[in-house]
């Protein structure tokens, strides 16, 4: 007999997936301990579990999987072959439909005025920003800058200037960081510029004093002046995603955490294997989080997570905690499919969002 943990390890199905398939009547354990409720699987069920994992990776519906498993155990090869062929035809039709839709979208994009490439600037922008404020804002978002060469618009920090406020934003799709600082001298409408990561780092190196620094944009060139020192270079000639739309999240469960203690709990606590994002890459370690009844954030191990837990990349979460630069932070968890938010207790306009990782892989 295999325990549920051993079955998960040997089959490629997660513990939570095995529980789900038990409740769905797809893969029912051979024996359940009447006292502890712990599930045990017979040796012959390992082959079924591995087959189930393959079928789910191929996207087969559960109703068909149930029939395949029944036919497999009963040696009804005609039924199994028929179901596999029918699902393959569905996948091929779906791929053909997806190709058609993407072709239509490419035509629509070609008909627009190339929204991914910004037109050259003819006006000049100049504003003053407190050096310490800009330094803190850049420190809060730098970790989230993207590095994917196919998405060059994410390879820098967005400077979003409007009225007396400067927002700086970075995202690599899996995480987003937003910070705010005050600004003066910008009397025009809202203006945006993407500063490439190397220039952001050069700017940050200048921000050691207390006085204001001057940020200027002229044509395609961005300049930061701090006293008699200057960092300048070309901006990224792309449009940035509408981050204001991306950060509109429903309210979630909140808990104030002591950062040092929370970091220790993450570093010493259980981890799970997450999705592999790049072809040929390795699975990332993820932490599964829940808000406990006493209002604290719990790091859950396999077998003790609840229904509303959120799984996130542990390395990304540790980066977000370090970038926030506070002894206490607010951790906000919504639905398992919603981003996890890390917010400052004293400034909720500076925050990080981390995309959840799928538990059932």
Q: Tell me the CATH number at 149.
A: 3.10.150.10
- Say if residue 190 is in the same domain as residue 154: yes
| Chain mean pLDDT for the chain | 86
C-alpha 215/C-alpha 163 separation (Å) is 14
- Say if residue 240 is in the same domain as residue 253: no
- Say if residue 56 is in the same domain as residue 138: no
Residue with tokens 């395949």: 68
For residue 33, is it within any domain? yes
CATH number reported for the structural domain that contains residue 64 in this entry = 1.10.1660.10
Chosen domain end from 244, 278, 307: 244
- Say if residue 181 is in the same domain as residue 196: yes
- Say if residue 134 is in the same domain as residue 81: no
For residue 233, is it within any domain? yes
Q: Is pLDDT at 360 greater than 60 in this prediction?
A: no
Q: Is pLDDT at 105 greater than 50 in this prediction?
A: yes
- Total tally of structural domains belonging to the chain: 3
For residue 318, is it within any domain? yes
- Are the C-beta atoms of 360 and 20 separated by less than 8 Å? yes
Give the pLDDT confidence of 108-151 residue by residue, as tens digits.
777 664 444 444 544 688 899 999 999 999 999 999 999 998 88
Give the pLDDT confidence of 67-91 residue by residue, as tens digits.
888 888 777 788 888 899 999 999 9
Chosen domain end from 187, 209, 244: 244
- Are the C-beta atoms of 114 and 196 separated by less than 8 Å? no
Q: What is the span of the domain harbouring residue 31?
A: 2-90
Q: How confident is the model at residue 239 (pLDDT cuts 50, 70, 90)?
A: confident
- Say if residue 185 is in the same domain as residue 222: yes
For residue 106, is it within any domain? no
For residue 235, is it within any domain? yes
- Say if residue 233 is in the same domain as residue 182: yes
For residue 137, is it within any domain? yes
- Say if residue 130 is in the same domain as residue 234: yes
For residue 119, is it within any domain? no
Q: Model's pTM, two decimal places? A: 0.74
pLDDT of residue 348: 80
Chosen domain end from 46, 74, 90: 90
Give the pLDDT confidence of 32-63 residue by residue, as tens digits.
988 888 999 999 899 999 999 999 889 898 88
- Say if residue 187 is in the same domain as residue 289: no
C-alpha 260/C-alpha 321 separation (Å) is 9
For residue 100, is it within any domain? no
C-alpha 65/C-alpha 172 separation (Å) is 36
Within 13 Å, how many C-alpha atoms sit on residue 98's CB side?
6
- Say if residue 173 is in the same domain as residue 262: no
The candidate with the shortest Cα–Cα distance to 215, out of 121, 321, 206, is: 206
- Say if residue 268 is in the same domain as residue 229: no
């Amino acid at each position: 007999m295999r325990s549920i943990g051993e079955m998960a390890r040997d089959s490629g199905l997660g513990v939570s997936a095995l529980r789900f398939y038990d409740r769905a009547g797809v893969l029912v354990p051979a024996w359940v301990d009447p006292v502890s409720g712990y599930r045990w699987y017979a040796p012959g069920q390992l082959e079924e579990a591995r087959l189930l994992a393959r079928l789910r990776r191929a996207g087969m519906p559960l109703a068909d999987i149930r029939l395949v498993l029944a036919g497999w155990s009963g040696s009804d090869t005609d039924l199994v072959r028929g179901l596999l062929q029918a699902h393959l035809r569905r996948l091929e039709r779906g791929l053909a439909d997806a190709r058609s839709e993407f072709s239509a979208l490419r035509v629509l994009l070609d008909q627009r005025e190339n929204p991914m490439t910004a037109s050259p600037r003819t006006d000049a922008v100049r504003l003053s920003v407190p050096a310490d404020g800009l330094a803190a804002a850049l420190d809060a978002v730098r970790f989230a800058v993207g590095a994917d060469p196919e998405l060059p618009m994410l390879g820098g920090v967005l400077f979003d200037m409007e009225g007396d406020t400067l927002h700086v934003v970075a995202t690599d799709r899996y995480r987003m960081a937003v910070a705010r600082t005050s600004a003066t001298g910008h009397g025009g409408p809202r203006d945006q510029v993407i500063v490439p990561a190397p220039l952001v780092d050069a700017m940050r190196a200048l921000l050691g004093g207390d006085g204001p620094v001057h940020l200027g944009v002229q044509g395609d060139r961005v300049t930061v002046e701090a006293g008699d020192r200057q960092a300048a270079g070309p901006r990224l000639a792309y449009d940035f995603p509408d981050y204001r739309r991306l950060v509109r999240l429903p309210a979630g469960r909140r808990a104030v955490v002591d950062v040092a203690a929370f970091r220790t709990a993450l570093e010493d606590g259980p981890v799970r294997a997450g999705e592999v994002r790049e072809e040929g890459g390795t699975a990332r370690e993820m932490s599964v989080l829940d808000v406990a009844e006493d209002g604290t954030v719990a790091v859950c191990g396999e077998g003790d997570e609840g229904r509303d837990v959120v799984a996130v990349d542990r390395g990304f979460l540790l980066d977000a905690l370090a970038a926030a630069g506070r002894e206490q932070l607010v951790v906000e968890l919504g639905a398992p499919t919603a981003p996890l938010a890390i917010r400052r207790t004293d400034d909720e306009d500076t925050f990080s969002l981390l995309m959840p990782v799928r538990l059932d892989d």
